[in-house]
Structure 1
Amino acid sequence: MGGESSYPLLYSTEDESSSLAPKFPLASITSSVFSGNEKGFSHKSENCSAINGESGLNFGEFQDEGPRLSLISEATERQRVKVYAEVLRSYEELQSRIDRLEEAKSRILSYTPGAWAEKIDGMDLREYDIPNITSLLLIGPKGSGKSSLINKISRVLENDIFLSGRAQVSWNSSTEDGTYFLHEYVIPRGSGSFCLYDTRSLSDDCSENRKMLARWMLKGVRHGELVKRKSDSKDLKARLKCKAWRSRPSSQVRDINFVIFVVNGLSVLESMDRVDGKKKEYSQMIATNFNNPLLSFKDDKPIVVITHGDLLSLSDRVRIRVYLGELLGVPPTRQIFDIPESNDSATELAIVDMLIYCLERADRNLPPKNLFVGEVPSFRCMLLCIVLAMAVVVHVYRLHAHQPRAPIAPSPTDVDWHRIRHLWLG
């Protein structure tokens, strides 16, 4: 997935990535991988040499180097070569599908919440808890490009590449400025199909991220809600307090239906190539937060969007997707989307593919309306009815016990002997 405005340069000789074609032709590697030709997997094969020399995957480090060869089996190396070829081929397939871009857009624009839900065991659509609007949550580290991605999605679906940005973009990720209030963006504007939630960047403290993500995933999100942390500096807390007094969060709470994890391709590449512990922390932080079980919907993990690919060569972009696929345990060709800052049709198609994937998963994992389904839950319903009946009985009894009683009027036949004695004694 993903496009690049300079994609045709892959077959020229002027660009660094273009040198990939003569020495590492896509047809050559895919044919050797999928044809079952065992010679194609040889350590000294032309294909593996091309991968090692041009892509930077460094498969050659596992060649005949004594003990290092025992660290990885030949089958694992074959699998990596296959995955690399699949990812590389996905860029070519994306280009071949550009003529279907408008058809894919129309599918998104005609979407309504629950329209793509799968019927399970004969359940009718009315039996699902369908939201008024499908909510997609964007999360990611500082400088990952969440706000820029929202602006790009809005421009693509509104067919206006010159549309002013709806989300405020932070141009200097080294400062503390960024997104501190949750922002809801209905896509397209004025529709009621789905919305994107821009969020505050993930913290370096994983415990703070767990609390923040748990609050959003379990309790929902509200437009305009301030996101504060204990680790915020005093100066930042003061500035946020000044910003918060003039804003009031929406009373509408929305449940999250799917998650989009956004990462900066430049930062991932730097983390891959450096042995420095500080640089490796970026990959570790991504893996820790991505594998938070609250972000998954049943077996469906979040999707990954790689940004800033326009600043990288094609070979590096392929390396990043293969690396993240191994790191996060998701298929790089289907669940990792390369969306660079390019205004070309291939990038637009990658965006639409990404949204279709998210909305399909959101509808597929809608919860049923009935909390209790089956024999055992029916017993729970009966038990709940008994408890409610007992509660009503106790409530009525308490009302009756605390009701003030009217004084008993004296009977006409009663004799007031104290008064008679008083009158008699005079």
Structure 2
Amino acid sequence: MGGGRRSSDHLPEELADDGVISSQSSSDRHPDDSPLSYSPEITAAIAAAAAEEEVCDNPPRRKTYNELLEFYSDPPARKGTLRETKDLILRHKPGDWIEEVGGTTAGDYEVSDCTTLLLIGPRGSGKSTLINRITRVFEDDQSTPDRAQVSHNLSATLGTCFLQEYMIPRKSKSLCIYDTRSLSSKPSDNVELLQCWMTRGVSHGEMAIRQSDDIMTRNTIKSMVRQGVFSPCKKRVVNFVILVVNGVTILESIHAKDNGYVDILLETFKYPFLSFKDNKPALVITHGDELSISQRARVRLYLGDLLGIPPLQQIFDIADTKDEDTELAIVGMLRYCIEHADRNLPFNQNYLLQGQRIFHSMMEMLQGYDTILEVTVIILCIILLLLRGLVNFIQ
């Protein structure tokens, strides 16, 4: 991917003791650096190690890295905003945060009845786990059963094969998040699915079949369908996108100088259909509870440099932990996404374009042999019923 790759030569090697992540437990990895604590001794050690690195010759980078460390080490300064931000999200209705610029009014925009956020990410990135974590935050119950099914053994399952809609919270009518099939290692597969979702919309229970899926995989997915061709689920326009990545895998890629995983992220992130004007997707880093504070800051800074986005404003580190820091990260991420969704709502379309959208929806319903067969059978049944009724009427 010309120009897209970044080796560890471009990274801030702040920690002399970071080392390659092993298969040991997280406690063995960093016994002196717990995920949610940061002592003065560790701060001094990191500063001393960083002083010997070339990153010190880059003041803006050093400043950003220090800000990230401060962000992790001083959570009490942020905790007062949790309830306020949470209530703000719960009260929000689509279009509430429209900016009436250029002489426009709220009526000039096409506002849907629900703000729809699309989760995308590689396999094992933690999309389904994130759905469950968000649910528990907004239901104020950390013991709430999982809503999204999480794969325990990725090699034994196909993963998410159907689009899944989750209202946040469950009874809400204003905000939903869509869990999707994982990104493929083949860019062409991702382009096809992402373009379809972003241009035609998404609906609950919709199959996510890739172009490269073999016949057996396609048949397996189709055999799991439990609804007819006429699904009652509404088609929703995607209002903003969240790209989810595994922080542990990113750090492993950095140490191994393996750009395969990173290249998929970079190419996906820069895909034009995922942007809303100048606004690119929000980025969520998961599995931070398996990393030390210094490692989390390093991954966040690296991704900010790679994707060209501010690490503190557009990248959200959401660990799989039940604490207030995780809740803060979740509500901060959702507020960012909802605000940008409202700011980039499309203008009202004319009747011609609306008719074109309806036509495309009808054509989509008729795609595929199975669908045509079902429609044909339904039509024949209706004709037979009408004929039978006519015969009975004549008699």
Q: TM-score range by the shorter chain?
A: 0.7 to 0.9
Matched with 2:41 is: 22
Matched with 1:402 is: none
Which residue among 332, 337, 347 is the counterpart of 1:353? 332
Matched with 2:373 is: none
* Whole-angstrom CA distance in 2 between matches of 1:327 and 1:289: 13
Q: Which amino acid aligns with 2:345?
A: L
Matched-pair contact (CA < 8 Å) for 1:94–1:350:
no
| Unmatched 5+ stretches in structure 2 | 1-29, 352-395
Q: Which amino acid aligns with 1:261?
A: L
Q: Which amino acid aligns with 1:50?
A: A
| Unmatched 5+ stretches in structure 1 | 1-12, 26-45, 53-58, 63-71, 373-426
Matched-pair contact (CA < 8 Å) for 2:250–2:299:
yes
Quick check: 1:336 aligned with 2:353?
no
Q: Which amino acid aligns with 1:358?
A: C
Which residue among 295, 316, 320 is the counterpart of 2:274? 295
Which residue among 181, 188, 194 is the counterpart of 1:213? 194
Matched with 1:260 is: 242
Q: What TM-score, normalized to structure 2?
A: 0.76
Quick check: 1:274 aligned with 2:253?
no
Q: What TM-score, normalized to structure 1?
A: 0.71
* Whole-angstrom CA distance in 2 between matches of 1:97 and 1:182: 35
In structure 2, relative to structure 1, the CA distance for the partners of 1:212 and 1:250 (3 Å cut) is: farther
CA deviation after TM superposition for structure 1 residue 93, in Å: 4.8
Q: 1:285-325 deviations in whole A, cap 9, x for unaligned?
A: 11011110111111111010000110111110000000000
Matched-pair contact (CA < 8 Å) for 2:72–2:293:
no
In structure 2, relative to structure 1, the CA distance for the partners of 1:51 and 1:215 (3 Å cut) is: same
In structure 2, relative to structure 1, the CA distance for the partners of 1:112 and 1:94 (3 Å cut) is: farther
Report the RMSD for the aligned CA atoms in angstroms: 2.3
**Which stretch of the first structure deviates more once superposed, 166-175 or 266-275?**
166-175
Q: Whose Rg is larger?
A: 1
Matched-pair contact (CA < 8 Å) for 1:310–1:340:
yes
Where does 1:87-98 land on structure 2 (aligned, <5 Å)?
87-98=68-79
Quick check: 1:164 aligned with 2:145?
yes
Matched-pair contact (CA < 8 Å) for 2:246–2:286:
yes
SS at match of 1:197: strand
Q: Which amino acid aligns with 1:49?
A: A
In structure 2, relative to structure 1, the CA distance for the partners of 1:93 and 1:364 (3 Å cut) is: farther
**Which stretch of the first structure deviates more once superposed, 208-217 or 78-87?**
78-87
Matched-pair contact (CA < 8 Å) for 1:16–1:313:
yes
Quick check: 1:199 aligned with 2:199?
no
Matched-pair contact (CA < 8 Å) for 1:127–1:370:
no
Q: 1:177-204 deviations in whole A, cap 9, x for unaligned?
A: 2100001111111211110000000001
Q: Percent identity?
A: 46
Matched with 1:84 is: 65
In structure 2, relative to structure 1, the CA distance for the partners of 1:19 and 1:133 (3 Å cut) is: closer
Q: Which amino acid aligns with 2:195?
A: A
In structure 2, relative to structure 1, the CA distance for the partners of 1:116 and 1:93 (3 Å cut) is: farther
Matched with 1:28 is: none
Quick check: 1:115 aligned with 2:96?
yes
* Whole-angstrom CA distance in 1 between matches of 2:311 and 2:350: 36
* Whole-angstrom CA distance in 1 between matches of 2:165 and 2:91: 20
How many aligned positions are there?
320
Q: Which amino acid aligns with 2:60?
A: Q
Matched with 1:400 is: none
* Whole-angstrom CA distance in 2 between matches of 1:241 and 1:212: 17
* Whole-angstrom CA distance in 2 between matches of 1:83 and 1:19: 17
Q: Which amino acid aligns with 1:259?
A: V
* Whole-angstrom CA distance in 2 between matches of 1:139 and 1:96: 31
Q: 1:47-75 deviations in whole A, cap 9, x for unaligned?
A: 753336xxxxxx62x4xxxxxxxxx8x75
In structure 2, relative to structure 1, the CA distance for the partners of 1:101 and 1:306 (3 Å cut) is: same
* Whole-angstrom CA distance in 1 between matches of 2:31 and 2:272: 46
Which residue among 87, 90, 101 is the counterpart of 1:106? 87
Where does 1:121-160 land on structure 2 (aligned, <5 Å)?
121-160=102-141
CA deviation after TM superposition for structure 1 residue 169, in Å: 1.1
CA deviation after TM superposition for structure 1 residue 253, in Å: 1.2
Quick check: 1:308 aligned with 2:284?
no
CA deviation after TM superposition for structure 1 residue 237, in Å: 2.3
In structure 2, relative to structure 1, the CA distance for the partners of 1:122 and 1:244 (3 Å cut) is: same
